[in-house]
């Protein structure tokens, strides 16, 4: 399965280009214009490695779904065998994407929210009462699952399956110098074309929550430690090339860290620590010792 996520790159209030998106912010009581680039990123989920497949930049004044359709069409040409299902936020629960996935025999999984009020109301009415499954997870959460098929929606020509989860956990926080433990509850609804005999509701919920894990493992980590928050050259082609090269570098280092390092050593070094050591090794390498600087050897007599 692969997941797409829209994210912002390189916000600035001073530099802009003809491909920048714009938004108005209030700073010190005054409205200022902020320029930024925005893209839809496709990455695989269900794997230990964070693997980005491709990115499609969102043009000024363009909706996220328009760019997502272009990205999906390109991925279906290049990586059609890499995935069986596509996942997205509630915004991706729309007829054109359902039809495109159906045409290429791919499933679609999306969060169900108020943007589909009729289907959500039907799901709340049907998925009530006693749950189909209750599990106590290792992290202390109690999760209840409801799972039904044969829902109809104007967004999809075929019947849909809706999975509801109710998650209950305790949250400990410090308020006014005292520790307070509170019980919290969250409800989630997912609409999908994946049938029950292919994927159980627990895996549907896990896939649905994988989005936030990817956000932390890729975008937050790369913004904090890999320079994804710095625009080296404000040009649309340069920005896209920099992002793609950074994704490739991140994937290669993650593969080395996960697959090449022995467990005792990997436990002592984080991914960013390994990347730092590689960088220091490149800096310390003398230019005259570089393989690309050495001349060709003379042919044998």
pLDDT of residue 294: 60
pLDDT of residue 299: 64
Q: Which one, of 250, 252, 231, lies nearest residue 242 by Cα?
A: 231
pLDDT of residue 287: 58
pLDDT of residue 132: 93
Instruction: State pLDDT tens for residues 7-56.
Output: 899 999 989 999 999 999 988 888 999 999 999 998 888 777 878 889 99
pLDDT of residue 21: 92
Do the strands 21-27 and 2-12 form a parallel or antiparallel pair, or are they unpaired?
Answer: unpaired
pLDDT of residue 155: 76
Q: Which one, of 227, 249, 250, 251, lies nearest residue 239 by Cα?
A: 227
For 37, 48, 233, 240, 300, the CA distances from 237, given in Å and listed in that order, are 12, 31, 9, 5, 45
**Domain residue extents for the chain:** 2-255
Which contacts qualify for 272-277: CB closer than 8 Å, 24 or more apart? Answer: 272/221, 272/225, 272/226, 275/225, 275/226
Instruction: State pLDDT tens for residues 138-148.
Output: 888 899 999 99
Instruction: State pLDDT tens for residues 116-140.
Output: 888 999 999 999 989 999 999 888 8
CATH 3.30.70.2740 fits 2-255, yes or no: no
Q: Which residues are registered as beta bridge partners of 148?
A: 162
Q: What is the mean pLDDT of each run of 10 residues along the chain (301 residues)?
A: 79 91 90 93 83 91 90 89 87 87 90 88 92 89 94 83 94 85 92 93 89 76 86 92 92 90 87 87 69 61 61
For the residues of 173-240, what is the DSSP string, one character each? EEETTEEEEEEEEEEEEEEES--TTTS-HHHHHHHHHHHHHHIIIIIIHHHHHSSTT--SS--HHHHH
DSSP character for 48? Answer: S
pLDDT of residue 51: 85
pLDDT of residue 297: 62
């Amino acid at each position: 399965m692969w997941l797409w996520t829209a994210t912002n790159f390189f916000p600035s209030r001073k530099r802009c280009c003809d491909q920048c998106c714009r938004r108005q912010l209030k700073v010190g009581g005054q409205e200022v214009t902020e320029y930024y680039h925005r893209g839809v990123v496709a990455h695989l989920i269900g794997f230990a490695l964070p693997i980005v497949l491709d990115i499609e930049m969102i043009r000024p004044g363009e909706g996220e779904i328009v760019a997502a359709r272009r990205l999906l069409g390109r991925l279906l040409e290049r990586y059609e065998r890499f995935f069986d299902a596509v996942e997205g936020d509630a915004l991706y629960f729309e007829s054109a994407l359902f039809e495109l996935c159906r045409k290429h025999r791919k499933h679609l999984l999306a969060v169900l929210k108020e943007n589909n009020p009729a289907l959500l109301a039907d799901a709340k009415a049907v998925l009530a009462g006693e749950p189909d499954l209750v599990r106590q997870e290792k992290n202390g959460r109690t999760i209840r699952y409801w799972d039904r098929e044969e829902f109809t929606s104007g967004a999809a020509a075929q019947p849909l399956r809706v999975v509801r989860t109710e998650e209950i956990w305790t949250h400990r926080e410090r308020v006014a110098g005292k520790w307070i433990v509170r019980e919290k509850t969250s409800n989630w609804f997912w609409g999908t074309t994946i049938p029950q005999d292919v994927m159980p509701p627990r895996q549907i919920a896990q896939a649905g929550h994988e989005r936030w894990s990817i956000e932390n493992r890729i975008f937050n980590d790369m913004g904090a430690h890999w320079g994804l928050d710095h625009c080296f050259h404000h040009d649309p082609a340069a920005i896209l090339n920099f992002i793609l090269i950074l994704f490739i570098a991140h994937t290669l280092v993650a593969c080395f860290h996960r697959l090449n390092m022995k467990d005792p050593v990997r436990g002592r070094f984080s991914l960013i620590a390994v990347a730092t050591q590689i960088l220091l090794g490149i800096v310390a390498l003398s230019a005259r010792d570089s393989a690309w600087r050495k001349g060709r050897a003379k042919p044998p007599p």
